[in-house]
Structure 1
Amino acid sequence: MSAIPSWLRSPRALLVVLLVVMLSTVVFAASTSTAAFGAYNAAWDGSSQLQEQAAAVDTQSQIALNTSVYETTTPDGTVAVILTPDRAYTPQEVARVRAFVNDGGTLVVAEDFGQYSNPLLDALGVNTSVDGRLLRDERYYYQSPNITVATDVEQSQLTTGVDQLTLNHGTALVANTSEESETEILVNSSSFAYFDENRNAAFDENETIGPRPVATAEPVGAGRVIVIADPSMMINAMLERPGNQQFVRNVFADHDRVVLDYSHNEALPPLSQAIILIRDSGPLQAILGLVGVAAVAVASRQRGLVRAVRGTSGQEDADADPAEIEDLVAYLRHEHPEWDEDRLERVARSRRQNGRSEE
C-alpha cells in the first residue's frame, strides 16, 4: 500500500499543494534581488549582510528608497551609507544630503569607477575624490593582485581592531592633506600598489608604485564624511575578509541609526518596495487597515449567507448518527479500498440521507 496518506492523494489536496508551491515561489522571487550591491541580494555580490552588521553592534538600520529620508531622520546619531550610485543626485537631493551632514549626520560614500559619486562629494564640500583607476598590488593581495590588501592602517577610533582592508577591483582616493585640510587618512594601500593605467594586468614602465589612500574621513559642517575607494568592500563575500567587517562595525557602532541609501541604485524587489513604502507611509497604513476591516466584514457576511442557504442540509448533517456514518464508512472502505477518505465519507452520508445503495 502506498506510503502517501489518502488525504494527500485526492485532487483537491494536490491542487492545494501546487498552489502553495507556486505562491511560495512567487513570494520568494518578489522579495529577493540579484542586483550587485543589492540590499536583498544574499549572494556573494549583494549587501544583505549590512543590516546584520548594524544589529551586531546594537544599531538600528533601515533601507531608504528616497532622499527624503535625510529630512525625516535625526542627523545626530545617524550614519547614512551610499554604495556606488547609478545616477546623478539632483540639486534638491544634494541639498537634502548636505543639510543632513551639516546638521551632524555621518555620510559614508563607497565608490570605485562610477561617475556620480565625485559630483556629490564636490557639492558637499568634501576634500576627497575617487581616482577611478584600477589599483593593483602584486605583493599584498588576496587570490589576485586586483584584490588588493591595504596594509597601512592609521590608528583611530574607526580602525580599532583593523589591521588591513581588502578591496575587490577597487581604486584609490585623491585626498587633500594640506595643512588647511582636516582630511584624515584612515587606511593606505601598501607601498607596492600601483594604478594599472591600461588594464593589462601588468606593471609597466610608465606606472609607479607607492602607497595610496583607500579610506578617509573629514568633518563637514557639524557632521562627517567617510570615503572608501571600493564599494565591494561592503558586499557579503568581502565582509568575510580580515578587517573589512570590523571596519564596518566600527563605523556603525558610533551611531544609533544606520540608513542604507538605495535611492540611486537598481530598483529593489517589488515585495520589498511595497513593504518599505507601507512602513514609511502613515496614510497608506490607515488605508490598508480599513481595507482589511472591510474584507473581514464581507467574508463574515458571505459565511452567514452560506449558512442560511445550507440550513436544511446542515441540519441533516447535524442530525446524522455518527455511529451509523462510521459503520457505513467502514463497510465502504472494505468494499472499495481504492477510495480516499473524503469519498468514503461523502458516499456514506449520501446513502444515509437518500436511503439507497448507489453513489
Structure 2
Amino acid sequence: MKKIFLIAFTTLLLSSALTVPITKSSCEFSMFNTGWNGCSEFAKILHESGGVIPVMYPYNTVGGFDGTLVVVGPDVGFSSHEADAVRKFVENGGTLFIADDFGSANSLLTKMGVDATFYNKPLKDIFYTKSMDFPVVVKFSSELRGFDRVVLDVPSAITTGGEGFSSSMSVIGEVEDIVNKSGNYVVFAEIKYGSGRIILFSDPSALMNDLYPENKEFMIALASYLGNKFYFDEVHHSDFNPYSMSTTYVYKELDRRSAGWVLFVLVVVGFVSLLGNVKFRISRRTRQRELPAWVDDELFGRMIREMRSGSKYGDENEHENSGKDKE
C-alpha cells in the first residue's frame, strides 16, 4: 500500500510540473510580455473568449487560419506571399484585425488592395486624460457595446469611414492646427472584404497592459466583436526572437518527454512490485496446500516447531501441556 501511495504521489508531482508555463518575452506588444508594454492581459481575454494561438513564422508557411488574425503594433514589413495568404483567408470568410499607428500595417493593406491606411502623424484631441497624448474616445457604433470610453496613447487615425471617432475638436498633426483643421477622425473601422472583414484600430498602445485598468471593458467587448478563435501575430515584431522562443519550446518538450519516461518506469516498477507480492502470497498458500493427503498436518506442524526450537517438545508451553496430558 505504501508503494502504491508513493507512486501516486510522484505521478501527481510530475503532472503538476508539466503544466507550469514558463514562456515570457520583453518584446513590445507581445502576448508573452507581462510588463507594462506587453499585451498579455489582452491575450488572456482572447483566450477566455475562445482560444489564442501565437503566430511566430510568416503567414504563408504556417498553413491556413480559421478564425481571426490579430495583428498588434507591427513594425516588420509584410511580404507579397504573406499578403496573398491573408487575402485568401479573409476572402473566404476570415477576420483580419489590425491595431497600428505608425508601424508597417500600411504595407499589408496596400498589397491587399484595401482603400484605407493609417495616418503617419499622431491624433490630438482636447478631450484627454493625463495629457493630450492620451485622448479619450467615446463615439462608437452601437455594435460595440459594454464600455463607456477608450483611453488612447499617442494614436493615429484611419483614412476611411468607420465605427469609432474622435471628438470634433481633434486634429492630425500639431495642436496649433486645431483651429483650422479640427474634426472627427476615424479611430476604428470595419471594411468588408470578400466573404470576410478587415477591422482597423488606430492605437495598439490602447491594448497594452499599461492601459488595461482603463480599457478592460473595451478589450472584452472587442474580443466578443472579433470572434471566438484568435491567431496572435508575433512574427512582425522586430524585437521578437523566434530562436529563443523555439529553444524554450523544445526544452519544455524534452522535459516532458523525460518526465514521461520516468513516469512510465515508475508505473512499471510499481506494477511489477504489486504483482510480485500477489504471486508470493499465492505461492505460500499453494505450498501449504501441496502436502500429500496422507500427511498428518498436526504432526507435520509439530515437527517443524521442534526443528525451529531445538526441542523435542517444540516450546515450553507445549512441553507443559504435554506433561499435563500424560498425568
TM-score, normalised via structure 2 length: 0.65
Partner in structure 1 of residue 224 of structure 2: 253
Q: Is the 8 A contact 1:194 1:207 kept in 2?
A: no
Amino acid corresponding to residue 61 of structure 1 in structure 2: V
Distance 1:215 1:293, change over 3 A: closer
Q: Is the 8 A contact 2:80 2:111 kept in 1?
A: no
Partner in structure 2 of residue 307 of structure 1: none
Distance 1:260 1:293, change over 3 A: closer
Matching of residue 146 in structure 1 with residue 137 in structure 2: no
**Matched residue pairs, number?**
244
Amino acid corresponding to residue 218 of structure 2 in structure 1: F
Partner in structure 1 of residue 158 of structure 2: 173
Rg larger in structure: 2
Distance 1:294 1:235, change over 3 A: closer
Q: Is the 8 A contact 1:153 1:162 kept in 2?
A: no
Amino acid corresponding to residue 174 of structure 1 in structure 2: T
In structure 2, C-alpha distance between the alignment counterparts of 1:83 and 1:274, rounded to whole Å: 24
Counterparts of residues 254-273 of structure 1 (less than 5 Å):
255-265=227-237, 266-268=239-241, 272-273=245-246
Counterparts of residues 55-70 of structure 1 (less than 5 Å):
55-57=47-49, 59-68=50-59
In structure 2, C-alpha distance between the alignment counterparts of 1:71 and 1:270, rounded to whole Å: 16
What is the root-mean-square deviation in Å for CA atoms of aligned residues? 3.3
Q: Per-residue deviation at 1:204? A: 4.2
Distance 1:206 1:67, change over 3 A: same
In structure 2, C-alpha distance between the alignment counterparts of 1:294 and 1:262, rounded to whole Å: 30
Partner in structure 2 of residue 194 of structure 1: 171
Distance 1:257 1:206, change over 3 A: same
Counterparts of residues 1-359 of structure 1 (less than 5 Å):
31-57=23-49, 59-68=50-59, 72-75=63-66, 78-114=67-103, 116-138=104-126, 140-156=127-143, 159-175=144-160, 177=161, 185-197=162-174, 202-204=175-177, 207-241=180-214, 244-253=215-224, 255-265=227-237, 266-268=239-241, 272-274=245-247, 292=258
Flag structure 2 segments of 5+ consecutive residues without an equivalent: 1-19, 267-327
Q: Per-residue deviation at 1:68? A: 3.9
Q: Per-residue deviation at 1:278? A: 8.5
Aligned to 1:72, what secondary structure does the other structure show? coil
In structure 1, C-alpha distance between the alignment counterparts of 2:188 and 2:73, rounded to whole Å: 15
Amino acid corresponding to residue 72 of structure 1 in structure 2: G
Distance 1:194 1:60, change over 3 A: same
Amino acid corresponding to residue 91 of structure 2 in structure 1: N
In structure 1, C-alpha distance between the alignment counterparts of 2:184 and 2:256, rounded to whole Å: 61
Q: Is the 8 A contact 1:195 1:207 kept in 2?
A: no
Amino acid corresponding to residue 63 of structure 1 in structure 2: P
Q: Is the 8 A contact 1:173 1:212 kept in 2?
A: yes
Q: Per-residue deviation at 1:38? A: 2.1
Partner in structure 2 of residue 352 of structure 1: none
Amino acid corresponding to residue 248 of structure 1 in structure 2: M
Partner in structure 1 of residue 269 of structure 2: none
Q: Per-residue deviation at 1:71? A: 5.4
Q: Is the 8 A contact 1:67 1:261 kept in 2?
A: no
Deviations 1:181-230, CA, capped at 9 Å, x for gaps: xxxx1110011111234xxxx42477521110000001111111100111
Q: Per-residue deviation at 1:294? A: 11
Amino acid corresponding to residue 168 of structure 1 in structure 2: D
In structure 1, C-alpha distance between the alignment counterparts of 2:130 and 2:257, rounded to whole Å: 55
In structure 2, C-alpha distance between the alignment counterparts of 1:35 and 1:290, rounded to whole Å: 27
| Structure with more strand by fraction | 1
Partner in structure 2 of residue 23 of structure 1: none
Distance 1:44 1:294, change over 3 A: closer
Deviations 1:286-310, CA, capped at 9 Å, x for gaps: xx599749986xx99xxxxxxxxxx
TM-score, normalised via structure 1 length: 0.60
Flag structure 1 segments of 5+ consecutive residues without an equivalent: 1-26, 178-184, 280-284, 301-359
In structure 1, C-alpha distance between the alignment counterparts of 2:201 and 2:81, rounded to whole Å: 24
Q: Per-residue deviation at 1:256? A: 2.9
Q: Per-residue deviation at 1:142? A: 1.1
Distance 1:118 1:186, change over 3 A: same
Q: Is the 8 A contact 1:71 1:96 kept in 2?
A: no
In structure 2, C-alpha distance between the alignment counterparts of 1:277 and 1:212, rounded to whole Å: 46
Q: Is the 8 A contact 1:86 1:264 kept in 2?
A: yes
